[in-house]
Every structure is written in C-alpha cells, then in structure tokens.
Chain A
Amino acid sequence: ELKVEQNPLFLSMQEGKNYTIYCNYSTTSDRLYWYRQDPGKSLESLFVLLSNGAVKQEGRLMASLDTKARLSTLHITAAVHDLSATYFCAVDMVWAAGNQFYFGTGTSLTVIP
C-alpha cells in the first residue's frame, strides 16, 4: 500500500520567516503534486513536479522533487498571513484501471502577523 506522509502536520510561523514542509512517499513515482486548501474550500493546484530534480517556484513558494529519496519539499520564503492554509502533497500512481492520487496527511500552516 502506498503511504504518503507529510511533516510537520501543524506549523505556526511568524511573518517574514522561512520554513520547509516535507512530503515522503513509500513507493516509486515520478509525479508529485502540491495543493492548497483554505478552510471550507476546495483544493487549488499549486505545483506539478514530473521528474527527478524538478523545481518549481511561484511567489513565496518553491517545490522540489527527489524521486530517488522519494521526497518532495515545499519551501516557504518570508511567510505572509495570506499563506495560511492546509497544504497537501499527492503522489500519482498509474494502474491498469487508471491513475489514482494518494494524498499526504496535510500540513496546516498558520502565519502569525
């Protein structure tokens, strides 16, 4: 069974600080996705990482993928309050019946002014 774990589960950080969220997964996959979810809302796609060494950046967020280590990171630079949300990584596995996302446990981020 594929397991996708994130840490930390909860993160409280001050504005202006940097931090990294980690996503580990238990089996080989070359495709890793990051989503953001605001309370009571749906999931918003942030990054699609498709190969080993892939790095994507958007604003204060940067995501990377190391398929050999089965690890993805989401780095937050100079956090602002608007980044407060829950962040999920998801690993894409392709089966005969189709592809299936396995979501990580989620990281609830609170940025304190």
Chain B
Amino acid sequence: DTEVTQTPKHLVMGMTNKKSLKCEQHMGHRAMYWYKQKAKKPPELMFVYSYEKLSINESVPSRFSPECPNSSLLNLHLHALQPEDSALYLCASSQDPTGTSTDTQYFGPGTRLTVL
C-alpha cells in the first residue's frame, strides 16, 4: 500500500474561519511533509516532520499551524487565512527522514483550498 490520503478534497473558507487539513499514511514512513502549490508552479515546501517532530519550517506564516499527533497522521490547522493562500495543499511522506533511504516521496491527492 503506497497510499497517502488527504481530507477534505475541497475546502472553501472565509478569512475569519478556522479549519484543518488532514493527512494519513500507513506505510510506516517516518517523515511527513506539507507543500503548497499554486497553479502552474512547482510545489513549495512548508513543513517537514521527522519522527513526529517538526524538523523544517520554511518560514511559513503563523496562520498555518502543523501538528503531527502520531506517526501516521499529519494535520495543518488554518486560521485567519488570506485570499492569496488559496492553493492546492499537498501532503507527502517518505520512509526515512535522515536521508539514508533512497525512497521517493509519496504524495496525497491534495486539498484544493479557496479563501474568500
């Protein structure tokens, strides 16, 4: 099973709302990632969790708050977003966060977020 699942598939929210994106994998991977992708652009890394600890934060605004409750789950909490935050949010996982594994990153289907 090489599947990463994400919910919801689509999300529309106002600038004052609080919402969460969820990601799950059951491949035993110990690294999980959040990416943001705007139309016709490559994915931009937001956060990396390594063994359930936040290891990389790419200077993302505090209105995005990641959480890794356990090794299979990754959440992204959203609060007071701006219209420019509208994008496809992708979750990914890989086997070994130390980089010694040669495995690829497996991507979920993404959540299409629209901020009004």
Q: Which residues of chain A have a CB within 8 Å of any CB of chain B?
A: 31, 33, 35, 40-45, 48, 50, 86, 88, 90, 92, 94-95, 97-101, 103-106, 108
Contacts and interface: CB of A to CB of B under 8 A. Distances in A.
A42 B102 CA distance: 21
A42 B2 CA distance: 14
B56 A98 contact: yes
Contacts of A43: 43, 90, 107
Interface of B: 31, 40-43, 45, 48, 50, 55-56, 88, 90, 94, 97-99, 102-110, 112
Which 7 A-B pairs give the minimum distances between C-beta atoms? A94-B99, A99-B99, A103-B42, A97-B55, A98-B97, A43-B107, A98-B50
A43 B93 CA distance: 12
A4 B62 CA distance: 28
Contacts of B55: 97-98
Given A98-B55, A98-B97, 9 more contacts: A40-B88, A41-B110, A42-B90, A45-B104, A45-B106, A88-B42, A98-B99, A99-B99, A105-B42
B104 A33 contact: yes
A86 B31 CA distance: 25
A42 B23 CA distance: 13
A76 to B, nearest CB: 20
B98 A98 contact: yes
A39 B15 CA distance: 27
B112 A40 contact: yes
Contacts of B40: 86, 106, 108
Contacts of B56: 95, 97-98, 100
A57 B106 CA distance: 20
Nearest to A47: B104
A98 B55 CA distance: 7
